[in-house]
Structure 1
């Protein structure tokens, strides 16, 4: 049996189900009315039914309020997580219209909540600019909630309407007078849809709202969590409001870094839209600090606005360096990576009809915006450099140092190629490769030390599982340049085994494995090695993270066995402290059992390692993603960079969250 969906313009989805090849008539066609299509295939509309999709429901509602702010009518948004994980979003915008819709003959607020693609963003005059990635709006939130209630204040009255799983259960009715305008939406996510968990993560929401506040200068967003109380008994709450907008954003990104200039800011506007740019260099070695947004959407895959920025930046830096004889006639031009090394920048464009493309629909395709960004950056940056010679000299010096390091790294690559280290036919000696040559079916375990490597090699399925043991801790690439990274045998082995190369030679399509699994001990040293590896991938192979190729293995922390058992057989593997405590509480006689704590992978025999950590049918893998590039950039630079104070603050803040510590 097969099913093929077609999404119609009216929001209805037609599903063709073929039971038998010789039986196909009108009775085989089912038309999904209203929001039924959303409930049948929620992943098509919100991305997934896991934590990402669950949080996306909040973003859809908040996006509507932000659209009111972009239109100049909303200044404050309050988001509350209630004890039962329901969500309330309140804004002080104009309020969703409550008059009768001329076509549907029902209140407009009911149209917006029950009909897909209904709203002020689709060809009407409601909004010139709007956010929201998928354009499906709050109707999807309604469809995927057990209940959704809306209170609208406008035209002097307070009006309420309620829905259950997308269907109207309480018609719009007036419940009182109002001397202000705005909208309040409360919804309860449907556990039938979000079967994993219906628990909102405060930090995930906070990071998103901080980003939104940065991108919308002056907008006040407040997040309250009624599930947690402060010492004085009040609810946990946090406010985000930035008078400096994206200037404050780059300052926040560079927190804890030694900077070379005060933030540069410029803006430009045309019939195509508006562009805002803020930028500031630091002594960091990172060349991945440019974040691009289109209508508040983080365009992780880049697009025309980012292309325009990069082209103008590189050309302007080179022209200034040539004009002031910093680059001599015989010197090579600075590359884009040279110009961007140590740069934190925000490129934010607002346009009427954004065209998104790419695998995750986060790549901007509007060609007309490229020229607008390019012109704004060329003019704004040129003027800044000419008017500020001292920081300009520091910025160009930073770029020329990056050029020298890049040339040194190129020579190192050529030398290692001649030695055969980066030759695809000369794999690292410690690599136990798999027999499969199909990358999509192959996986590599990066393991800590020869002991764990030996167990993993015995445990693996050599058809598709490769093992690469690491010797000691790898270099912290956040504190070292590319040329130093390439001089490390451990990093060279890692690059060679994966097959993509790095820097100018990087090619993600050449990856030899589509699952790169970090498998380290469950202790402090193992955690340190894991973060060093993640820092390396984030800085030099971020595309592999975006492709979903990087994973973290989850070995068990404990094994439960009977005391004095001759076989010593493990009855149950336990993966965290909460599960251990729960299991011990459920045992009839806990004294009859021993809990074995696994500090290292080498303590498990190959059979146990396979069963718990490597067998695809029984193992648990955590896929590494970059949900918030700004938060990731800050975390990596704070925790792995040269500045001690931000790291100290982080440790003090999260010390109580440590679940175990080996001393």
Structure 2
């Protein structure tokens, strides 16, 4: 119950708990570097330069280290002693080390303290040794190495990207702290990984700028608000860009709060009130009949809210939402005071934001009217499915899958090759709309988008999207294995990422993998997915020249070049196909990449293509 699940989320929570403890030590003024290592054998190490877990005899008669490692709520930072040195902490109720111990096949803890290195070993939470002195050291700190228990977790493989995102957050949220991340495991193609170092002198202002990479911003420097009231520390950084998405990230004691809480609600209410008051006082809403909502003003805003609370109250053991009611008023007061002063001192920026907010309000009204027209015509009604949709007969969404197929011709072939019981086919004509450059009112006028939304049944946008209404468990993008197909996939991925992120987060989005080559010898056919497999085949065949005799090398330029049986066998049959599940392990990096590839700024995209273009196999056969 303390880590949330036995899946990947719970697994990564183990490292997070140990890093929380190390960050708490640094925040209290002890040390400045945390090192995380993923070892080739699957174990992980977290090491810091803090004071080290106490190793002296505890009142219970055993070492304090053993008490901390085996007893819930034994952490010194929660016992109320002034000597503990913690005013705020991210670790939850002192359970971190003991929970990691209990859920590990084995764990080794080394404490550097008073010139000595102390060590104790455990197996599934049970001490294997007493606390022993195993060396000398002039340094201080704690090093914990553990192997997750495969009998507890569904997987014990740590994701490099998931950890990188969390460690990067830690570094942004704690200005100046240095976090070193080493992954000793090789990449899938056998390469060694470089050590990554996260350290940001600008703190959360740098975090906001990182989010806004490759985006056109309305003002160069983020707006920064900070203050301490009633022992609650508040930091807020925000910056506006010309885009249409709102990106708000909130944290409490270095813990991400994706469900928000009173720190977030306090910010939003004060933010909306302050901007509206400024607009009214300077008559910036004249000649309009518009009332600016918080959603209007926050369009294009990237913001990070970080609060440090002495006694945080998180709703749920996995810390999804901050429940301290007193934080709301503290944040409101600071935002009212300091944001008002900023707007008064920077009228040009204030007017740019207000003008953009007015445009957002007008677009919101246009989107509302478009929805009303769509609803009135019954376009998004499940009873009015797209004319090109070949639906499946099964009505249990858990058993159904939908293919979004590039082109009418390939769509026709897919309809012939599908299993009509549970596979639905929607042919897509053209490349569709780049939603990264459009507001919802314009998106709702695109026929391709309307067809997709109608077929899925979920609705679209923050107000209407409901994942529970999804009609298919798997939504599969099936496009040609060439440059145009890649572009279409990217457009569709951008749409789902921007307008239906829950679909991606819950694991419903997939990419089909049609083969690029067919090798036929006599009546036997072999399919190869890419040029790499083709090169391997040719190398193998060159060793035995007889293999090439009477063989034929077909290169598919599109899905439509395959007949129905070939498309079924290679790409659609559940027993033989290859599907790639689209995951969002690093949401920040995903946002940055979609902005780079699909945004307005050309120069970063040109640099990216120049750097990585040589790694792409361009299809020039049909040029």
Question: Alignment partner for residue 278 of structure 2, among 317, 320, 339?
Answer: 320
Query: What is the CA deviation profile of residues 48-105 of structure 1, one whole-angstrom value per residue up to 9, with x for unaligned ones?
Result: 455x5554443333222112123232311122344545433321111111112323x3
Match of 1:102 in 2: 59
Match of 1:30 in 2: none
Which whole-Å CA distance do the structure 1 matches of 2:171 and 2:7 have between them? 27
Q: Residue 321 of structure 1: CA displacement?
A: 1.3
Question: Alignment partner for residue 88 of structure 1, among 45, 61, 79?
Answer: 45
Q: Residue 219 of structure 1: CA displacement?
A: 0.8
Match of 1:349 in 2: 307
Match of 1:592 in 2: 547
Q: Residue 333 of structure 1: CA displacement?
A: 0.9
TM-score (normalizing by structure 2):
0.86
Query: What is the CA deviation profile of residues 282-334 of structure 1, one whole-angstrom value per residue up to 9, with x for unaligned ones?
Result: 11122x31111222222233333323322222222222212211113861211
* Compared CA separation, residues 268 and 238, structure 1 to 2 (3 A): same
Question: Alignment partner for residue 18 of structure 2, among 44, 57, 61?
Answer: 61
Which whole-Å CA distance do the structure 2 matches of 1:281 and 1:80 have between them? 36
Match of 1:414 in 2: 372
Length, aligned pairs only: 608
| Correspondence 1:515 to 2:470 | no
| Correspondence 1:639 to 2:610 | no
Match of 1:41 in 2: none
Match of 2:97 in 1: 138
Contact 1:45–1:134 under 8 Å retained in 2: no
Alpha-carbon RMSD across the aligned residues, in angstroms, is 3.6
Aligned runs of 1:331-342 on 2, under 5 Å? 331-342=289-300
Which whole-Å CA distance do the structure 2 matches of 1:358 and 1:390 have between them? 43
Q: Residue 402 of structure 1: CA displacement?
A: 1.3
Question: Alignment partner for residue 261 of structure 2, among 303, 307, 315?
Answer: 303
Which whole-Å CA distance do the structure 1 matches of 2:121 and 2:556 have between them? 52
| Correspondence 1:119 to 2:75 | yes
Match of 1:532 in 2: 491
Contact 1:99–1:108 under 8 Å retained in 2: yes
| Correspondence 1:627 to 2:585 | yes
* Compared CA separation, residues 504 and 254, structure 1 to 2 (3 A): closer
Contact 2:513–2:580 under 8 Å retained in 1: no
Q: Residue 226 of structure 1: CA displacement?
A: 4.6
Question: Alignment partner for residue 432 of structure 2, among 460, 474, 483?
Answer: 474
Match of 2:5 in 1: 47
Match of 1:4 in 2: none
Which whole-Å CA distance do the structure 1 matches of 2:557 and 2:317 have between them? 40
Contact 1:90–1:182 under 8 Å retained in 2: yes
Contact 2:44–2:145 under 8 Å retained in 1: yes
Aligned runs of 1:263-302 on 2, under 5 Å? 263-271=222-230, 273-286=232-245, 288-302=246-260
Q: Residue 461 of structure 1: CA displacement?
A: 3.6
Q: Residue 266 of structure 1: CA displacement?
A: 1.0
Contact 1:272–1:369 under 8 Å retained in 2: no
Which whole-Å CA distance do the structure 2 matches of 1:113 and 1:538 have between them? 41
Contact 2:3–2:317 under 8 Å retained in 1: no
Which whole-Å CA distance do the structure 2 matches of 1:616 and 1:272 have between them? 58
Aligned runs of 1:483-562 on 2, under 5 Å? 483-503=441-461, 505-508=463-466, 509-546=468-505, 548=506, 550-557=508-515
* Compared CA separation, residues 258 and 558, structure 1 to 2 (3 A): closer
Query: What is the CA deviation profile of residues 411-450 of structure 1, one whole-angstrom value per residue up to 9, with x for unaligned ones?
Result: 3333444554344432222122234444444432222122
Which whole-Å CA distance do the structure 1 matches of 2:531 and 2:324 have between them? 50
Match of 2:116 in 1: 157
Aligned runs of 1:66-465 on 2, under 5 Å? 66-103=23-60, 105-116=61-72, 118-120=74-76, 122-125=78-81, 126=84, 127-132=86-91, 136-143=95-102, 145-189=104-148, 198=157, 201-226=159-184, 236-261=194-219, 262-271=221-230, 273-286=232-245, 288-328=246-286, 331-357=289-315, 362-465=320-423
TM-score (normalizing by structure 1):
0.81
5+ residue gaps, structure 2: none
SS class of match (1:171)? coil
Q: Residue 343 of structure 1: CA displacement?
A: 0.7
SS class of match (1:180)? coil
Of the two structures, which has the highest relative contact order with CA contacts closer than 8 Å and spacing of 6 or more?
A: 2
Contact 1:301–1:358 under 8 Å retained in 2: no
Q: Residue 237 of structure 1: CA displacement?
A: 2.5
5+ residue gaps, structure 1: 1-6, 8-43
Which whole-Å CA distance do the structure 2 matches of 1:64 and 1:507 have between them? 38
Contact 1:266–1:276 under 8 Å retained in 2: yes
Which whole-Å CA distance do the structure 2 matches of 1:360 and 1:174 have between them? 36
Which whole-Å CA distance do the structure 2 matches of 1:285 and 1:369 have between them? 29
